[in-house]
Every structure is written in C-alpha cells, then in structure tokens.
Amino acid sequence: MSDSDAEQAQGLLPDMTDQLTGPYLDLVRTLIPDLAGKVMVFIDWAYLLNCLNAIRSGTDTGIIDVAKFGAKLVGRRRLIRIYVYDGKIERPPNDMWRERQAGQQRFEAALAHVPDVEIRWGRLQFTEGRQPRQKGVDVLLSLDMLRFALKSNYDTAILVSGDGDYADVVRMVKDEGKRVELVAFPESRSWTLLQAADTCVEVDMAFLTDCWRTQVYESAGPGEDGATQSGGLFGSRWMEQPLRND
C-alpha cells in the first residue's frame, strides 16, 4: 500500500470500524496502525501492587513487567507512552523503609532505560505513628490525564486504578472527546469510577500470565554487577497495608 493509498484509507475507514469485528478489525489495524488511535497508559502503581498482594499466594515471587503489562493493555493500537505514578519515599523512619527507599531508587533507574515508560513521583510521607501516606499522586495523575487530553496527545487513555477520586477527571477527559478505558481488579474498584469510564478490563492472575518479570528491577551502580535480588520494594509484598492518598 502506497503512502497516498494509506492516507486515503485513513480518511475513509474510521466510520466503518464500528461495523468491523474480530479478524477483520485486526486486519485493518495491522495494515493501518494509526487507525485505532493513539493510546496513553496511566498506572496507579500502589493500587496495582496492593491488589496483587491481596490475591497472590505466598509462593508467588515475580513482579509486574511494566512494559509487557502496558503493551498487553494497548494491543495493536499505537502506544504513545506508559506513565507510572507512585509516592517517592521521604525521610524513611526506620531501616526497613530505608531499604525500601533504596529499592525505589533502583526501580527508578531501571525504568529510565525502558522505552516509552516514564515514572512520575508524588511523595510518600509518614505520620507520627509511622504510617505511610501518599501526597499528590492522585492530583499528578489527574492533571496529566487532563492536560494530555487537552493537547490531543492521545485518543484513548487507559487508567489502571480503582480509586473513585478519579471519576471526575475521567468525565472531563471524555468531555474532550477522548475515550477512557479502566483497568481494575474486580475486588477493588469504585462503582463511581466504573460508571464514569467507557469500558472496564478486569484484571486477575490469569490476565497477568505473560506480564511477569522473574527478577526484581535492578540497576547496576559503582561496584555492583547488576545482579538481581528477591524481595525488595518492588517485589511481591513491598506494602503491608494499603496507602491512603491525601
């Protein structure tokens, strides 16, 4: 297919895609990738890890591969970028949290080398009782979703979260003519958020079968050989209690 033919097809076929299903739609998307539109993925990382901790058995040791997970959600559509949102640990109160802070830094360094993936930080602070509280993570994710929609950086936003606080920004994004796909665990999702999104993909262990890393994210530094370790901040059980967004 020549460039001129492809451009003509892109102008004619969008109205027909609603009538195409199954292999016919897959064929069209393969021939003309941009027909399916641009997609950005927004991942509430603490939500994802907390849900995994709740449903996994004690023998599970793998962790999510961000790139594989995002690619599976996007499918044959055009991926623009995957954004991961989490709270950066500030002033860890004890050795356990200092170790987790080091793991978080390794995770950040490792993701810096993964194409089309960017991590965005809020803050993780601690109460007087040493309970962790996220600050600004939900606001940052919401602002990014909205400003990228206003700039038409994407046609579809994939939101990985179950937090009902995102329902308002989902509606705003839809008002800009964008599509919002929610990705959530059925045991942990807000009904308000579910109603606001255009559609919902339910995640379970079967869905994640081909999205695992067998090793912890690690970044080699001075004097290190880059060998991975089991456990750590981004292993299967880095969080013992759910985080609260303030």
CA distance 1 to 117: 31
Q: What is the pLDDT of residues 167-178, one digit of tens each?
A: 999 999 999 999
With tokens 């999104």, the residue in question is: 197
**Res. 209: pLDDT tops 50:** yes
CA distance 214 to 184: 23
Q: How many CB atoms neighbour CB 113 within 10 A?
A: 8
Q: Which of 60-74, 80-94, 145-159, 180-194 has the highest mean pLDDT?
A: 145-159
Residues of the chain by 3-state class (helix, strand, coil), percent to 5: 40, 25, 35
Give the type of residue at 74.
V
Contacts of 11 (CB under 8 A, 6+ apart): none
pLDDT score recorded for residue 108: 80
Q: Which CATH architecture has domain 37-245?
A: 3-Layer(aba) Sandwich (3.40)
CA distance 246 to 244: 6
Sign of CA dihedral 164, 168, 173, 177: positive
pTM of the model: 0.73
Say if strands 212-213 and 117-126 run parallel, antiparallel, or are unpaired: unpaired
Domain range summary for the chain, segments of one domain joined by +: 1-33, 37-245
Check if the beta carbon of residue 130 is closer than 8 Å to that of residue 94: yes
Q: What is the pLDDT of residues 95-145, one digit of tens each?
A: 777 888 887 888 888 888 889 999 999 877 776 666 777 777 899 999 999
b (16+ CB within 10 A) / e for 47-73:
bbbbbbbeeeeeeeebbbbbbebbbbb
Check if the beta carbon of residue 162 is closer than 8 Å to that of residue 45: no
CB-count burial class (<10 Å; 0-12, 13-18, 19+) for 25: middle
Stretch 161-165: mean pLDDT = 94
Contacts of 100 (CB under 8 A, 6+ apart): 89, 92, 232, 233, 238
